[in-house]
Amino acid sequence: MEVWEKIKKELSAVYSDTNNDPWLTIINPVSFIDNHMVLSVPDDFSLEWIRNHYQSDIIKIAKSSFGDTVEVELIIDHREDIYTDAVPSGEKKAFPVLETNSIGLLKNYIFDNYIVGESNKFASAASLAVAQNPGKAYNPLFIYGGVGLGKTHILNAIGNYIEETKGGINIIYLTAETFVNDLVNHLRDKKMDQFREVYRNCDVLLIDDIQFISNKERSQEEMFHTFNTLYQENKQIVFTSDRLPKEIPNIEERLKSRFEMGLIADIQVPDIETKVAIIKKKAETDNIEIDDEIAFYLAYNTQSNIRELEGYLTRLSAYTVLTKIKLNINVAKEVLSSLIRKKDKWLTIEDIQRAVAAHFKIKVSDLLSDKRMKYISYPRQIAMFLSRTLTNASFPEIGVQFGNKDHSTVIHSVNKISDMIKNDSSVKEVVEKIKKGMG
């Protein structure tokens, strides 16, 4: 759109070097009709960024060029290909894509980058056993757990592992939703023989989000017969679900009992260290530097969902790639503030001091004092750690609020507690309990 090119040129008067400004190159001109200009960007992060930093200038220039009635609207269009030309190659990784292989398995979802902790060690051990001995270890394997806790990842890991170690074996991986749609299409085209031929002749059947089959009688019937055929021939079947078989509503008894026949393994919400380990692994893969302080900050500020954690990382990564600003905890807090503040009310250092003092049954004034007895210095260190993790305060600010301590004392305390959390689960529990108590 020439109009947009013209505006971009004008913008270079405002921002030097506009042609190299990655933010402007990710804007895609969509239309300019009746004085209404529509521009698209690839995701909500870019949308927010462009709104906050460029929109007013874009509007100003549009108005001066085309008159005061011009309106500019920014929308999100997720289609990658409309931006690929524009986005400089080095910046592309700011918009991650999930690559699949020829049978539809997500390539990056493998055991090697699946972090195992208390919350998922049973499910992950069972999955590995199944991947190593398909049809022999546990059949079916039924994995269940909440949203964003790694079910799809581990299901793909099973598939990828089998694919790699037993090349040529016939693996089918799909969501229950795809199964249902496929069934509908084959029914419509009167090609059910073909449908059965495909599903009943595979060696490994991996079905994601089986709860989707609830209420769909015809699909349940077909699934039941598929299951029986495969099971009798010792073919491996793995299901994932967001709930237990008995909690899936409107599902035939006979199918439910099939789901329960083998091994049922759950994935729970990860604890803090597991979250930190996941963050570090992802950061390593994405090539961004995340120090312990940022990792803990992210871990403490997510409720349960790992996808949410990844969202934070993607945003940090996009920010550093596009602005070339070096990441530190303050930058991270700033970049994520709109996401994180929305969910948690902002705690103050006083809130934290009160909660910590109450937990250890000491006085707030003890926390602010110079007393060195362990039963006071330890809670003080925890309170400093929490202040650093849960508020935006800098080290010197925290020092001031703890009875004018030097910032090096605060840094020492924060590091000490971070280390203790990693090595001593009782410390971790105390910190989590206090944090929970503050809600």
- Of 13, 75, 125, 147, which lies in the binding site for ligand ADP, with binding defined by CB under 6 A? 147
- DSSP element (H, E) containing 366: helix 364-368
Q: Which three-class secondary structure state does DSSP give residue 35? A: coil
**152 lies in the site for Mg ion, by CB under 5 A:** yes
Which range, of 152-160, 229-237, 371-379, 383-391, touches Mg ion by CB under 5 A?
A: 152-160
Chain centroid, CA 75 distance in Å: 23
- Residue 262, contacted partner among ligand ADP, Mg ion, none, CB below 5-8 A by kind: none
| # of chain residues touching ligand ADP (CB under 6 A) | 17
- Residue 296, contacted partner among ligand ADP, Mg ion, none, CB below 5-8 A by kind: none
For residue 33, list its beta bridge partners.
Answer: 36
Nearest to 153 by CA among 184, 182, 126, 124: 124
**149 lies in the site for ligand ADP, by CB under 6 A:** yes
**160 lies in the site for Mg ion, by CB under 5 A:** no
**Pairing verdict, β 141-145 and 236-241:** parallel
Determine how many CB atoms are found less than 10 A away from the CB of residue 96: 15
CA dist 130 and 349 (Å) reads 49
Instruction: Give CA separation, 67 vs 22, 37, 62, 84, in Å.
Output: 28, 12, 7, 32
- The residue type found at 204 is V
Looking at the Cβ atoms of 203 and 209, the one nearer to Mg ion is 209
Q: Residue 291 CB, nearest distance to ligand ADP (Å)? A: 19
Which range, of 52-60, 106-114, 285-293, 408-416, touches ligand ADP by CB under 6 A?
A: 106-114
**144 lies in the site for ligand ADP, by CB under 6 A:** no
CA dist 421 and 438 (Å) reads 19
Which range, of 76-84, 147-155, 163-171, 349-357, touches ligand ADP by CB under 6 A?
A: 147-155
Q: Residue 205 CB, nearest distance to ligand ADP (Å)? A: 17
Which positions from 273 to 312 touch ligand ADP by CB under 6 A, shown as an x/- string? Answer: -----x---------------------------xx--x--
Looking at the Cβ atoms of 144 and 195, the one nearer to ligand ADP is 144
**DSSP 8-state assignment for residue 106:** B
- Of 95, 114, 173, 227, which lies in the binding site for ligand ADP, with binding defined by CB under 6 A? 114
- Residue 114, contacted partner among Mg ion, ligand ADP, none, CB below 5-8 A by kind: ligand ADP
Q: Which three-class secondary structure state does DSSP give residue 158? A: helix
For residue 145, list its beta bridge partners.
Answer: 267
CA dist 34 and 31 (Å) reads 10
The residue of the chain with the least Cβ separation from ligand ADP equals: 150
- Of 153, 216, 275, 315, which lies in the binding site for ligand ADP, with binding defined by CB under 6 A? 153
- DSSP element (H, E) containing 238: strand 236-241
For residue 234, list its beta bridge partners.
Answer: none
Q: Residue 264 CB, nearest distance to Mg ion (Å)? A: 17
Instruction: Give CA separation, 304 vs 50, 267, 408, in Å.
Output: 30, 11, 33
Q: Residue 142 CB, nearest distance to ligand ADP (Å)? A: 14
- Of 148, 159, 262, 379, which lies in the binding site for ligand ADP, with binding defined by CB under 6 A? 148
What is the number of alpha carbons within 13 Å of residue 78 lying toward its C-beta?
A: 3
Locate 316 and state its tokens. Answer: 């940090």
- Residue 115, contacted partner among ligand ADP, Mg ion, none, CB below 5-8 A by kind: ligand ADP
Q: Angle, to 10 degrees, between the axis of helix 374-390 and the axis of helix 407-423? A: 90
379: cis peptide before it, omega within 30°? no
| 68-87: contacts with ligand ADP (CB under 6 A) | none
**156 lies in the site for Mg ion, by CB under 5 A:** no
* Residues of the shown chain interacting with ligand ADP in the complex, contacts defined by CB under 6 A: 109, 113-115, 120, 145, 147-153, 278, 306-307, 310
* Residues of the shown chain interacting with Mg ion in the complex, contacts defined by CB under 5 A: 151-152
